[in-house]
Amino acid sequence: MGTLKQLLPAGGAFLLERVLAQALHSELDLVVLVLGFKADEIRRRIRPAKRQSKLKIVENTDYPLGISSSILTGLSHVEKNYAHAMILLGDMPYITSGVINRLVSGYLDSGFSLGALKVRGKRSHPVIIGRRFFPALHRLTGDQGAREIFIRHQDEVCLVGPGEDYDDMDIDTLEDYLKFKRALD
């Protein structure tokens, strides 16, 4: 995109701050923010919202190795003390604490080992992965996320509707960002 998308203006805050505020306002016990490229600059510029006590900011120095390295960096800070980990992308401007809470509640009630939002009839982010699949996360490499785990173990996936009007857009291109900015106006 030619710029740090985490620091794109997004309705009075940076994009990452917008997502982070919702995660911190949710019922999640701990929020681990994994920063990679230009981590120091992002850390200096973001202003975490309320409930900073449940925020842990960590740096993924292996970020050139792909998204798997960010997943493993975050997982290394939760896997000993938590039975479940949520992967929440920092470029989803419409995520809300309500959607996060609904996913957590539906997932925990289901007894399944994998959970995800179901938006427009398909699996979407954020996702939750139970301890049973932590070893599978450790086998991820490169720009590989958890998608294959969810595909291979479809019978163990709890899909939860967002419970509100929710757009699961993530901002990957300048066009995505401009569409989002138009919607804010």
CATH number for the domain that contains residue 92: 3.90.550.10
Write down the mean pLDDT value for the chain. 94
In degrees and rounded to multiples of 5, residue 33 shows phi and psi of -95, 115
Tens digit of each residue's pLDDT (9 = 90 or more) over 14-63: 999 999 999 999 999 999 999 999 999 999 999 876 557 899 999 999 99
pLDDT digit string, tens, across residues 129-143: 999 999 999 999 999
Whether 36 and 57 have beta carbons less than 8 Å apart is answered as: no
Domain range for 78 is 7-184
In a domain, 40, yes or no: yes
For residue 84, the surrounding DSSP H or E stretch is strand 84-87
pLDDT reported for residue 164: 86
Structure tokens at 83: 């039975």
Query: How confident is the model at residue 49, as a pLDDT?
Result: 63
What integer pLDDT is reported at residue 56 of this predicted model?
95
Tally of domains within the chain: 1
Asked if residue 2 is part of any domain, the answer here is no
Residue 91 located in a structural domain: yes
Average pLDDT of the segment spanning 147-169: 95
pLDDT of residue 51: 57
pLDDT tops 60 at residue 172: yes
127 has a pLDDT exceeding 80: yes
Q: What is the residue-wise DSSP string for 102-161?
A: HHHHHHHHHT-SEEEEEETTEEEEEEEEEGGGHHHHHT--TT--SHHHHHHTGGGEEEE-
Query: So what's the pLDDT on residue 178?
Result: 93
Res 3: pLDDT: 85
Tell me the Ramachandran region of residue 121: left when phi exceeds 0, alpha when psi lies from -120 to 50, beta otherwise.
Answer: left
Which tokens sit at 71? 């997943």
Q: Residue 50: what pLDDT?
A: 56
Contacts of 80 (CB under 8 A, 6+ apart): none
pLDDT digits (tens, 9 = 90+) for 87-104: 999 999 999 999 999 999
Task: State the pLDDT at residue 32.
Answer: 97
Where on the phi/psi map is residue 120: left (φ > 0), alpha (ψ -120 to 50), or beta?
Answer: left
